[in-house]
Amino acid sequence: MSDDAHSDDYKTLMGQKRFLSEIEQGIRLANREVIHARIPEITKKTVLSFSVAVASLRARYLEDAFRIGSEHGNPPDQAEITALRTSREMYEEAKNAFEALRYAIERGYVDITAGDD
């Protein structure tokens, strides 16, 4: 491969990297604007409160599961399975939302208010 071909490949690669960087910057700005309009302030207190809510839903789900398991080997009835499914879905939705918040924080999509609030 000639030096010109290497130079062209390098220029193409650099152009692609610049393009992706500009796209990422645009995505970050769009996310910051849209999320900030709906959630203007995120503090340690609000994130920890959210994490406690997720933990409570996890505990409820596990409690329901253990309740079914402690029925002396009797299979659960439809109502118990429905309640367990509902508990799981609630926990999973909250957990997914918390992970989305963490991702938004890591990517710089949201403003974090410093302090012990």
**What is the pLDDT at residue 41?**
85
Q: Is the CB of residue 78 less than 8 Å from the CB of residue 86?
A: no
Torsion over CA: 24, 28, 29, 34 (sign): positive
Per-residue pLDDT for 88 more than 90? yes
**pLDDT per residue as tens digits for the range 19-77:** 999 999 999 999 999 999 998 789 999 999 999 999 999 999 999 999 887 766 788 89
Which pTM was predicted?
Answer: 0.78
In the structure, what pLDDT confidence band is assigned to residue 115 with cuts at 50, 70 and 90?
A: low
Q: How far apart are CA 113 and CA 93, in angstroms?
A: 25
Per-residue pLDDT for 1 more than 70? no
Of 115 and 109, the one with more pLDDT = 109
Torsion over CA: 96, 59, 110, 37 (sign): positive
E strand map for 1-117: 42-43, 112-113
Query: Which pair of tokens denotes residue 61?
Result: 């789900």
Residues 6+ away with beta carbon under 8 Å from 41: 111, 113
**What is the pLDDT at residue 29?**
94
H or E element in which residue 29 lies? helix 3-38
- Report, as an integer, the average pLDDT of 89-103: 97
Closest CA to 93 of 57, 43, 56: 57
